[in-house]
């Protein structure tokens, strides 16, 4: 069995979808088989993950990544690992490419969406992407959409495998009615139907589309409230849009919340809506959307948009309501349909729950396990 070394700029204790994704993958491998190398903060203390904090780059010498290259070269020569796993294709893929070119170090790459699409705005970075992906043993990605984007870079289908994000029911925090009531008392006026979005406040997440839709939703459900969980640079713009639409009193922005509060909010909502939008050239996109799985784990009906890998993240039309992106009218209709039909809402939530309950990290990481067994 090969030993793997993951190099990444995205790992706990930092928060985020990529950080959680990589942590779960590493946590479901045998502890003796995986070591994580990261430059930030103290080594993460996990029950089943070995981590090392090392210097990744120099401020004074070129190439900047020479310290990391030297560290990994020595570790490989000493037999500390057999395969290098790359958490971010750029810039860390260049480190892997150098190690492969000069010392024959085999590597595999994780990809998520924007890490493939955004660099393609630059001719130089597109060329780097192609060179890095060409000599990788495997490329792991999260959706069919991201796979298609990778294949546009002349990568053969046989080199790409899926490792989808997973939310395992046993990993959810245990909440009780007292927890839920406390969160409702803090954030949600009593008895109001709740539309919930959980996402960083950036344009592509589509909060503005939901705010625009609320003007129509409130005509049929005047006591509805839109709860937004997350922080980011779009906060003031979202508030401005809500004011312009006259729905400010029906929009609640919680900021970042702890895990227990988050799952109490999932449990308290009536509809979960995340309708991302693409930019014109499809460079700033949603690769998957693990929050859809979290909402479905609470049996909540989900609304997603046809944007990037979002509809796949939500499970498609069998498990979610899918609307066209940037269409506040269609979104408002979808929300009101679900609020008006509790039976259909429950049925949709149940289908989503069944989908989530059948997904396991053990199954998803099988392609990585197979790579390390070769």
pLDDT band of 57, cuts 50, 70, 90: confident
For 62, counting Cβ atoms within 10 Å of its Cβ (0-12 exposed, 13-18 middle, 19+ buried), the class is: exposed
Q: Where is average pLDDT lowest: 128-142, 277-291, 313-327?
A: 277-291
Contact in structure between 349 and 196 (CB atoms under 8 Å): no
Give the pLDDT score at 162: 98
Give per-residue pLDDT as tens, 236-277: 999 999 999 999 999 999 999 999 999 999 999 999 999 999
Mean pLDDT of the chain: 93
Q: What is the mean pLDDT of residues 144-148?
A: 95
User: Is the pLDDT at 353 greater than 70, yes or no?
Assistant: yes
Q: Cα-Cα-Cα-Cα dihedral of 294, 358, 32, 11, to 10°?
A: -20
With beta carbons less than 8 A apart as the criterion, state whether 54 and 80 touch.
no
Residue 367, pLDDT above cutoff 70: yes
Q: With cut-offs at 50, 70 and 90, classify the pLDDT of residue 40.
A: confident
In this structure, how many other beta carbons lie within 10 angstroms of the beta carbon of residue 274? 26
107-121 residue pLDDT tens: 999 999 889 988 988
pLDDT in the model for residue 42: 54
pLDDT band, residue 191 (cuts 50/70/90): confident
pLDDT at 30: 93
**Can you list the domains of the chain with their CATH numbers?**
4-165+361-373 (3.40.50.2000), 169-357 (3.40.50.2000)
Burial of residue 53 (number of CB atoms within 10 Å: 0-12, 13-18, 19+) = middle
- Alpha-carbon distance 176 to 262, whole Å? 13
Percentage of the residues of the chain whose pLDDT score is greater than 90: 83
pLDDT of residue 60: 76
Kindly report the length of the chain: 374
In the prediction, which pLDDT does 45 show?
55
Band (282; pLDDT cuts 50, 70, 90):
low
Q: How confident is the model at residue 54 (pLDDT cuts 50, 70, 90)?
A: confident
**How many Cα atoms within 13 Å fall on the side-chain side of residue 96?**
32
Q: Report pLDDT for 44.
A: 57
Percent of the chain with pLDDT over 70: 97
Pair of tokens at residue 294: 């979290």
Q: Find out whether 94 and 86 touch, Cβ atoms under 8 Å.
A: no
DSSP label at 46? B
């Amino acid at each position: 069995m090969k030993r793997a070394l993951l190099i990444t700029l995205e790992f706990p204790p930092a928060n985020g979808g990529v950080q959680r994704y990589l942590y779960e993958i590493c946590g479901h491998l045998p502890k003796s088989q995986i070591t994580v190398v990261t430059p930030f903060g103290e080594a993460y203390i996990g029950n089943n993950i070995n981590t090392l904090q090392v210097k990744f780059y120099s401020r004074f010498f070129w190439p900047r990544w020479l310290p990391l290259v030297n560290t990994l070269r020595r570790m490989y020569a000493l037999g500390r690992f057999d395969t290098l796993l790359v958490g971010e294709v750029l810039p860390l893929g260049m480190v892997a490419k150098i190690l492969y070119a000069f010392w024959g170090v085999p590597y595999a790459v994780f990809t998520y969406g924007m890490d493939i699409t955004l660099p393609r705005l630059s001719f130089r970075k597109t060329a780097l992407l192609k060179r890095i992906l060409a000599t990788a043993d495997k490329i792991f990605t999260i959706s069919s959409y991201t796979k298609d984007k990778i294949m546009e870079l002349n990568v053969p289908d046989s080199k790409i495998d899926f490792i989808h994000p997973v939310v395992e029911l046993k990993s959810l925090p245990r909440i009780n009615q007292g927890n839920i009531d406390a969160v409702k008392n803090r954030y949600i006026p009593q008895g109001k139907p709740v539309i919930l979005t959980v996402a960083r406040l950036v344009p592509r997440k589509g909060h503005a589309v939901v705010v625009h839709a609320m003007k129509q939703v409130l005509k049929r459900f005047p006591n509805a409230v839109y709860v937004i969980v997350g922080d980011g640079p779009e906060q003031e713009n979202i508030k401005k849009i809500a004011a312009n639409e006259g729905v400010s009193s029906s929009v609640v922005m919680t900021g970042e919340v702890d895990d227990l509060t988050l799952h109490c909010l999932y449990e308290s909502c009536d509809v979960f809506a995340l309708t991302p939008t693409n930019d014109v050239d499809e460079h700033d996109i949603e690769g998957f959307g693990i929050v859809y799985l979290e909402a479905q784990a609470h049996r909540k009906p989900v609304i997603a948009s046809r944007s990037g890998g979002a509809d796949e993240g939500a499970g498609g039309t069998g498990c979610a309501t899918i609307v066209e992106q940037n269409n506040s009218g269609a979104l408002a209709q979808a929300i009101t349909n679900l609020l008006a039909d509790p039976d259909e809402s429950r049925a949709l939530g149940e289908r989503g729950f069944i989908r989530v309950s059948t997904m396991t990290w053990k199954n998803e990481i099988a392609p990585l396990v197979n790579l390390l067994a070769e």
